[in-house]
Structure 1
Amino acid sequence: MTKICEFTLEMINFDAGEPELIQHFIKVHEFALLIGSMESVPYNIIEVIEAAAIVHDIGIKVCMEKYGECNGKLQEQEGPAYAEELLNRLGFRKELVERVSYLVAHHHTYSNIDGIDYQILVEADFLVNLFENQEGKENIQAVYNKIFKTESGRKLCRQMFMIKD
């Protein structure tokens, strides 16, 4: 079994009893991997993208238990420590742990996106959230215009939601 598969199973265990959270990160992971592959991102960055996609919302369950809510800022605040613990326990390299922790701590912050891994994570998360939240065409178009930067993410968004470039 690959390390990413083992990591995915650990995250499923972390979110046990919360099928919507599990379904969400599985979809975000798949879109992130697809966009990264379409963009010909090098393997070492794909590895970061995959790990970040799997744990990007790790703070949700924690925030709900701790605060009774889980807004984006609380997720960014609480999630990194749990992501780091999980990544370290499975023996991921230090640089990957640090970058994934950073991405978890910023994945709801859409200004100053500082890398292709960050951009792809945000785009994949939006592809899933726009669908799961049943956003209207007008909002989808606004998000597309503001957030989507990669050619691959833009193409997938246009195809999924039948919006204009």
Structure 2
Amino acid sequence: MIEQVLNEMITYFKNDTRRINHALKVYGFATTLSGLEKLSEAEKEITQYAAILHDIGIKEAERKYNSSAGCYQEIEGPPIAESILKNLGIDQPTIERICFLIGNHHSYNKIDGLDFQILVEADFLVNIFEDNLEQKSIDDIGRKCFKTKTGIGMLHSIYS
């Protein structure tokens, strides 16, 4: 099923290579983090689906609000993700959790589980590189936003 969700994301973002690659990179880190942090198979699946679709609302945010700001992505992403996941036959409780993660992935004060924490860390591991952040900003993000042992280790291995 992961492959179908990946394909739906790629189809949705067609010709937007930057966003497709961003989602693939976040998915890669989320998959690695969720495995090394010993999430259950169900939690890994939720984390992977959320990682693939976490920015799915960005096109609609840009269309409606002329902005890709996180607050607009959080509004527009869940309905699009829900439609994709329902069409693929994903069960409703799983869809609800994925949509919660997508609808809050820029709201770090709402982190309520390891799946959410891993999604945030995976997104930061990619965004730090894509946004070419300076070391002070990286250190601040590490202190404030990274909680898992594996995520902290990856952050230091990649960016220290």
TM-score normalized with structure 1 length: 0.95
- Equivalent of residue 83 in structure 2, options 79, 85, 88: 85
Matches within 5 A, 1:1-165: 3-162=1-160
Q: Distance in 1 between matches of 2:58 and 2:16?
A: 10
- How far the C-alpha of 1:64 sits from its partner, in A, is 1.2
**4+ residue segments displaced more than 2 Å:** none
Q: Using the aligned pairs only, state the percent identity.
A: 39
Q: Distance in 2 between matches of 1:41 and 1:78?
A: 28
Worse-matched range after superposition: 98-107 or 62-71 = 62-71
Q: Structure 2, unaligned stretches of length 5 or more?
A: none
Q: Structure 1 counterpart of 2:121, which letter?
A: E
- How far the C-alpha of 1:65 sits from its partner, in A, is 1.7
Question: What SS does the aligned partner of 1:17 have?
Answer: coil
Aligned residues: 160
Q: Distance in 2 between matches of 1:25 and 1:39?
A: 20
Q: Distance in 1 between matches of 2:22 and 2:59?
A: 13
- How far the C-alpha of 1:112 sits from its partner, in A, is 3.0
Q: Distance in 2 between matches of 1:106 and 1:130?
A: 19
Q: Distance in 1 between matches of 2:123 and 2:28?
A: 10
TM-score normalized with structure 2 length: 0.98
- How far the C-alpha of 1:129 sits from its partner, in A, is 0.3
Q: Distance in 2 between matches of 1:112 and 1:45?
A: 17
Q: Distance in 2 between matches of 1:19 and 1:61?
A: 13
RMSD: 0.6
Question: What SS does the aligned partner of 2:109 have?
Answer: coil
Q: Distance in 2 between matches of 1:94 and 1:87?
A: 9
